[in-house]
Amino acid sequence: MKEMKLLTEWAYEPSKIHHGYSRKTLYVGLGNKDQKYSFAQKDVSDDMIDKFTGGRGFGLKLLWDAVKDTTKWNDPENEIVIAGGPFCGITQYPGTGKCYSVFLSPETKQTYNSNAGGYFAPFLKFAGFDAMELQGIADRPVVIFIDGDNNRIQIFESTAEDINAYAVSEELHAYFAKDEADKRTISVVTSGEAARTAWIAGMNFSFYDVHRKAVRLKQAGRGGGGTVLYHKNVVALVIKRTHFTSNENDVVDLETIRKAGVSIHKRIHDQDDYQSKMRTVGTAHLDEIMNDYHLLPIHNYKFGNSPEAVKIRSDEYKKLFTQGTADGCWYGCSLACAKAVDHFVLQYGPWKGREVIVDGPEYETAAGLGPNIGIFDPRWTIEANFYADHYGLDTISLGTGTAWLCECYELGLINKENTCGLDLSFGNKDDIMEHIQRVARGANDFSIACGKGVEYAREYFAEHYGSDLETMKKIGMVCQGLEASEYRCQESMAQWGGYFLTLKGPQHDEAWLIFMDMVNKQLPTNKDKAEALFFFPNFRLWFSLQGLCKLPWNDIEPADNGVRYKGLQAAKVPEHLGNYLNIFTAITGKPLDEAGMILQSEKVYNFERVFNLRMGKGTSKYHVAPDRGLGPVFPDEWMARPDYFDGKLKEFGVNIEGMSTKDKVALLQKYRRAQWEELKLAVYHRRGWNKNGIPTLATVKRLGIDYPDVVALLKKHLKPEDEFEPEEEPAKA
Amino acid sequence: MITVNGDKKEWEEGLTVRRLLDREHFSFRLISVWVNDSLVDKPFYASFAIPDGAEVQIIHNICGG
Amino acid sequence: MQVNAEKCVECKQCMTACSTAWFKEDSPELSRVKIDVKASYVNINICSQCGACIGICPTEAIHRDANGVVQIDKSKCTSCLMCVGFCPQASMLFSTQEGKQTEPFKCIACGICARKCPTGALQLINVPDAKK
């Protein structure tokens, strides 16, 4: 890589971390294409820690302060805020390298928060910062270097010729490292050329794999963070930090953390092969399990089970993943699920013939860029995964979006002329791969529309091709502008809420309730479902405040977890929950119990809801469940499981004698939509919101987030007719 | 007949826990199995015979990577 | 190290010698050899240099030296303790005492324990082709 010209630099006095916090955040301002760079080291107040804890919480708080009500995703005021949390940078316990990136999303037009593992967030913290804000738009492509060794920030004019992730990340590791061994002290955040035109571009977070002597990538894939990064004219963020101790967080009680770490390392060693097989196949172990439960998305979520799924079993992926290497994405992660395929020769695209390392695929990619688009070929999926990462495309939005396109094509809603010559039938490997290449390049108007996501594309198709909008809406697994992740939620009412009653869109990081509901039958009433849809989003999202990966919480469990605990208690994996609460105290010195953990989360959960409202969203009308999310849309889906669906209709007391399949489909949709509306209200009530999905004044006051601007905003939108009737019994806290 | 998580299911002669799991395609591994409120430990899945009329609970942990 | 537990008389001089040599104090927790007295026999737990820990380490801090002994390079160690959890024999150790080194430690076949052992239950041997 050619030498880069230094445009500006700024030195800072590094703040030492104490009990998990450095109490400083970094601000980098790029100006507005006017070279007016600015930097600041901001204080973290006690109130910020008390109300927002860290990670996603800090991101939302800093973004709230940075933007105006009218700020759009591509305005200079929009920020990308990256923050770890108090656990971030611990080396003794698995899954402590996570950070959240918070920004106004081009797809959802409200805040998005996207998580990534790896080294960037720990290094940022060791450099002295609990969070980093990136605001403004540079006047030329820049590389921002956070030099955690010399306590300075430098902004260079980028000389990268290929801005795609694997190319530029390798170059930047080499550029800033003294030698080969030094490459592991660096992490690079990039997007790729897809970010130029697509709204579904994510960010890649690199780390250097010392065994493979190569760059590996984790992704903050969703929501269009890469699109925002590109439009700020930032080619890459680079961080370097060489030295750190095993107690860089200056915790109160290191021994508790070490003992907990060793005990779970041993548990993972002993049990992982019999449980989730993370160390051998990563999250792709879910392929055959989801197929067995009819949860695998096939042909745009039409079906959930196929005999062809045998081709994509985790055993098939195990043959391709290199075994026996240390595949953790930050030090101390013994779950080591960051699997990779080595020496993979690409068959398509501009790097055809080249041998590469492919990171993944994760389950989401294996399903989304697999059976959801009718392709049951691991090697094809691995190649699609590679290019998606390289170009900066979110594999979930790409997979779900392409699945929807394939169905539109097969229904005749779009044709070969519209697609500029591509036959986008399900399973057409060559043309779908070419489609991915064209989306990345923004090759033509059709590809550009597709790259902006399903909600944009369907409006475009209706306007330009005369495609039927109603049908496109029924079959599009999208809500609040975001494509759904790769689980079929149709047959679990609780998971309708887990997808379509979320803050940011149908991403499963709030609640995954399908087994608890559909299989265990532990949530029979709306009240039970509402309780779960209050509890689990707050529980899951607690991890996002801390810098934690959730996989070591419940993708490994004590062998006697199901023996010692029953019901919902077992689902919490109490021993691991206890580890996290103890470690939080061991880091910060502050006691924390389960109720306190939920409260920490509830504050940020409701603040984020208010932020959605501020950006013009955040009400009931945006919590829309598409027909495909509630059940079959066409007769062929019903006929894949006729007895099952007949039984479902009979549960409503319907006499199905003599009914046509088309009528049965329509009737089940009607009943389920009524159930959906009831569920929505039950969940809003439990969350302390009104009937329009807006947090009440009482709720924000209880949580201590009743800041003047929050209250003013709520008063504009809260209406008396939207209030729930007061209960006879006191409401549960 | 037996019930599995409250749903009526066919019983068959020699129905073991393992056979029931395979029949229902319950391949998820983070589960615990209770027959008439007694826990059946994993090593005994292939040998434990489920009696006719039994109430079986097959509790799955939370999934979702 | 060659181990013959039947010869052990449970004097634990090996443990004292080891922890004194490496940590400057007589502490069973800080000894790299453990004499574990069962009801009817003695188990001597000491690293067999099997090398299972080598591939576990994310920074390649663990390697086998020219004598076949598995060593930890403390300058590369991040004290993640995964090697402790993954050792098949529980011979990779760590201290739970505040102020002691955070890196794990193990037997590196220095022979100090063997020189102290009155019965030859522990012996230092050269195994030129072993484990290569």
A78-106 residue pLDDT tens: 999 999 999 999 999 999 999 999 999 99
Q: Quote the distance between the C-alpha of residue A454 and its chain's center.
A: 17
Task: Indicate the pairing of strand A355-359 with strand A340-345.
Answer: antiparallel
Per-residue 3-state assignment (H helix, E strand, C coil) for C103-122 = CCECCCCCCHHHHHCCCCCE
Q: Quote the distance between the C-alpha of residue A308 and its chain's center.
A: 28
Judge whether A271 is closer than 8 Å to chain B, CB to CB: no
Task: Find the mean pLDDT for residues A594-623.
Answer: 97
pLDDT band for position C1 (cuts 50, 70, 90) = confident
Judge whether A268 is closer than 8 Å to chain C, CB to CB: yes
- Is A332 in Cβ contact with C82 (below 8 Å)? yes
The pLDDT of residue A206 is 96
Map residue A710 onto helix, strand or coil. helix
The pLDDT of residue C39 is 81
**Residue C1 in contact with residue C122, Cβ under 8 Å?**
yes
List of residues 6+ apart from A317 with CB closer than 8 A: A281, A284, A287, A339, A361, A366, A378
- Is A265 in Cβ contact with C86 (below 8 Å)? yes
Task: Indicate the pairing of strand C122-123 with strand C2-3.
Answer: antiparallel
B43 neighbourhood in chain A, CB within 8 Å? none
Judge whether B7 is closer than 8 Å to chain A, CB to CB: yes
Does the pLDDT at position A733 exceed 70? no
Find the CB nearest B59 among A363, A520, A536.
A520
Instruction: Quick: pLDDT tens for A671-718.
Output: 999 999 999 999 999 999 999 999 999 999 999 999 999 999 999 999
**Whole domain around residue B23: which residue ranges?**
2-60
Does the pLDDT at position A338 exceed 90? no
Find the CB nearest B28 among A289, A554, A571.
A289
Mutate to test the interface with A, among C82, C86, C97 (most CBs of A within 10 A): C82
Q: Encoding tokens for residue A500?
A: 């379509």
Map residue A11 onto helix, strand or coil. strand
Q: Encoding tokens for residue C124?
A: 């230092």
Distance CA B48, CA B27 (A): 18
- Closest A-chain CA to C83: A265
Is there a domain that residue C1 lies in? yes
Does the pLDDT at position C130 exceed 70? no
The pLDDT of residue A324 is 81
- Count of Cβ atoms closer than 10 Å to residue A680 Cβ: 23
Place of tokens 């080598």: C54
Distance CA C112, CA A518 (A): 62
Is there a domain that residue B32 lies in? yes
Write out the DSSP string of A69-101. TT--TTSTT-EEEEE--TTTT-SSSSS---EEE
When divided into structural domains, chain C yields a total of 2
Judge whether B26 is closer than 8 Å to chain A, CB to CB: yes
Cα dihedral C99, C100, C104, C107 in deg (nearest 10)? 180
Q: Which A positions 279-338 lie with beta carbon below 8 A of chain B?
A: 283, 286, 288-289, 292-293
Task: Find the mean pLDDT for residues A562-587.
Answer: 91
- With a pLDDT cut of 90, the percent of chain A lying above it is 92
Q: DSSP class of residue A202? A: -
The pLDDT of residue A729 is 41
pLDDT band for position C99 (cuts 50, 70, 90) = confident
- Chain C nearest CA to A160, separation (Å): 29
Does the pLDDT at position A280 exceed 80? yes
- Is A210 in Cβ contact with C59 (below 8 Å)? yes
Q: Which CATH code for domain A493-722?
A: 1.10.599.10
Q: Which residue type, as a one-letter code, is found at position A106?
A: P
- Closest A-chain CA to B63: A512
Least confident of A44-58, A277-291, A387-401, A608-622: A277-291
Distance CA A282, CA B57 (A): 28
Judge whether A409 is closer than 8 Å to chain B, CB to CB: no
Distance CA C1, CA B44 (A): 41
The pLDDT of residue C98 is 80
Distance CA A289, CA A213 (A): 34
Q: Quote the distance between the C-alpha of residue B16 and its chain's center.
A: 8
Task: Indicate the pairing of strand A152-157 with strand A142-147.
Answer: antiparallel
- Domain of C35: which CATH number? 3.30.70
Does the pLDDT at position C132 exceed 90? no
Q: What is the CA radius of gyration of chain A?
A: 24
Instruction: Quick: pLDDT tens for A175-194.
Output: 999 999 999 999 999 999 99
Find the CB nearest A283 among B29, B57, B65.
B65
Map residue A510 onto helix, strand or coil. coil
A-B CB pairs within 8 A amount to: 78
Find the CB nearest A487 among B27, B41, B64.
B64
CATH topology of domain A254-483: 1.10.569
Judge whether C112 is closer than 8 Å to chain A, CB to CB: no
Distance CA A234, CA C123 (A): 62
The pLDDT of residue A568 is 79
Answer yes or no: do C26 and C59 share one domain.
no
Q: Which residue type, as a one-letter code, is found at position A157?
A: E
Judge whether A268 is closer than 8 Å to chain B, CB to CB: no
Length of chain A in terms of residues written: 733
Answer yes or no: do C81 and C67 share one domain.
yes
Does the pLDDT at position C131 exceed 60? no
Give me the helix-helix angle, A594-614 and A526-546, nearest 10°: 90
Place of tokens 């919101």: A689
Does the pLDDT at position A728 exceed 80? no
Length of chain B in terms of residues written: 65
The pLDDT of residue A731 is 41
- Chain A nearest CA to B41, separation (Å): 8
- Is A563 in Cβ contact with B5 (below 8 Å)? no
**Residue A383 in contact with residue A443, Cβ under 8 Å?**
no
Does the pLDDT at position A326 exceed 90? no
Q: Encoding tokens for residue A653?
A: 């007391």
A5-240 architecture in CATH? 4-Layer Sandwich (3.60)
Find the CB nearest A508 among B7, B41, B64.
B64
pLDDT band for position C127 (cuts 50, 70, 90) = low
The pLDDT of residue C96 is 85
C77 neighbourhood in chain A, CB within 8 Å? 246
Distance CA A397, CA A383 (A): 17
- With a pLDDT cut of 90, the percent of chain B lying above it is 82
The pLDDT of residue A255 is 92
- With a pLDDT cut of 70, the percent of chain A lying above it is 99
- Closest A-chain CA to B30: A275
- Is A563 in Cβ contact with B41 (below 8 Å)? yes
Find the CB nearest A326 among C55, C79, C96.
C55
Phi, psi (deg, nearest 5) at residue A618: 70, 25
- Cα angle, residue A537 at apex, residues A531 and A540 outer, rounded to 5°: 130
Chains within contact range of chain B (3+ C-beta pairs < 8 Å): A
pLDDT band for position A285 (cuts 50, 70, 90) = confident
Task: Find the mean pLDDT for residues A382-395.
Answer: 97
Find the CB nearest C80 among A210, A324, A331.
A331
Helices (H), chain B: 17-23
> What phi-psi label fits residue A33: left (phi over 0), alpha (psi between -120 and 50 degrees) or beta?
left
Place of tokens 């929505």: A680
Distance CA A617, CA A627 (A): 21
- Domain of B6: which CATH number? 3.10.20.30
Answer yes or no: do C2 and C40 share one domain.
yes
Find the CB nearest A571 among B26, B58, B62.
B62
- Is C81 in Cβ contact with A92 (below 8 Å)? yes
C70 versus A282: which is more confidently predicted?
A: C70
Work out the mean pLDDT of chain A and round it to a whole number.
95
Answer yes or no: do C23 and C37 share one domain.
yes
Write out the DSSP string of A369-410. TTGGGT---HHHHHHHHHHHHHHTB-HHHHHHHHHHHHHHHH
pLDDT band for position A569 (cuts 50, 70, 90) = confident
Does the pLDDT at position A594 exceed 80? yes
Task: Find the mean pLDDT for residues A407-434.
Answer: 98
The pLDDT of residue A394 is 97
**Whole domain around residue C74: which residue ranges?**
49-87+100-106
- Closest A-chain CA to C52: A324
- Is A265 in Cβ contact with C102 (below 8 Å)? no
Closest CA to A194 of A448, A478, A453, A483: A448
Instruction: Quick: pLDDT tens for B28-53.
Output: 988 999 999 999 998 999 999 999 99
Global confidence as pTM:
0.95
Is there a domain that residue B65 lies in? no
Write out the DSSP string of C54-79. TTT-TT--EEE-TTS-EEE-TTT---
Find the CB nearest A554 among B6, B59, B62.
B62
Distance CA A213, CA A180 (A): 8
- Is B61 in Cβ contact with A563 (below 8 Å)? no
**Residue A138 in contact with residue A159, Cβ under 8 Å?**
no
In chain A, where the domains are located? 5-240, 254-483, 493-722
Is there a domain that residue C93 lies in? no
The pLDDT of residue C128 is 58
Instruction: Quick: pLDDT tens for A431-488.
Output: 999 999 999 999 999 999 999 999 999 999 999 999 999 999 999 999 999 999 999 9
Phi, psi (deg, nearest 5) at residue B32: -135, 145
pLDDT band for position C129 (cuts 50, 70, 90) = low
Is there a domain that residue C92 lies in? no
Q: Which residue type, as a one-letter code, is found at position A289?
A: I
Task: Find the mean pLDDT for residues C116-131.
Answer: 79
Write out the DSSP string of A241-266. -----TTTT--S-HHHHHHHHHHHHH
- Is B65 in Cβ contact with A555 (below 8 Å)? yes
Is there a domain that residue B24 lies in? yes
B7 neighbourhood in chain A, CB within 8 Å? 521
Instruction: Quick: pLDDT tens for A118-148.
Output: 999 999 999 999 999 999 999 999 999 999 9
When divided into structural domains, chain B yields a total of 1
C-alpha dihedral sign at A474, A478, A483, A488: negative
Distance CA A28, CA C132 (A): 52
**ipTM associated with this complex:** 0.95
Phi, psi (deg, nearest 5) at residue A22: -90, -15
Q: Encoding tokens for residue A26?
A: 């970094």
- Domain of C59: which CATH number? 3.30.70.20
List of residues 6+ apart from B10 with CB closer than 8 A: B1, B2
Task: Indicate the pairing of strand A79-83 with strand A38-43.
Answer: unpaired
Write out the DSSP string of A273-316. GGTT-HHHHGGGGHHHHHHHTT-S-BTTTTBS--GGGGGG-HHH
Q: Starting from the edge strand earliest in sequence, which strands make up the sheet with B38-40, in order?
A: B7-9, B2-4, B55-60, B31-35, B38-40
Q: Encoding tokens for residue B39?
A: 């826990």
Is there a domain that residue C128 lies in? no
Chains within contact range of chain A (3+ C-beta pairs < 8 Å): B, C
pLDDT band for position A732 (cuts 50, 70, 90) = very low
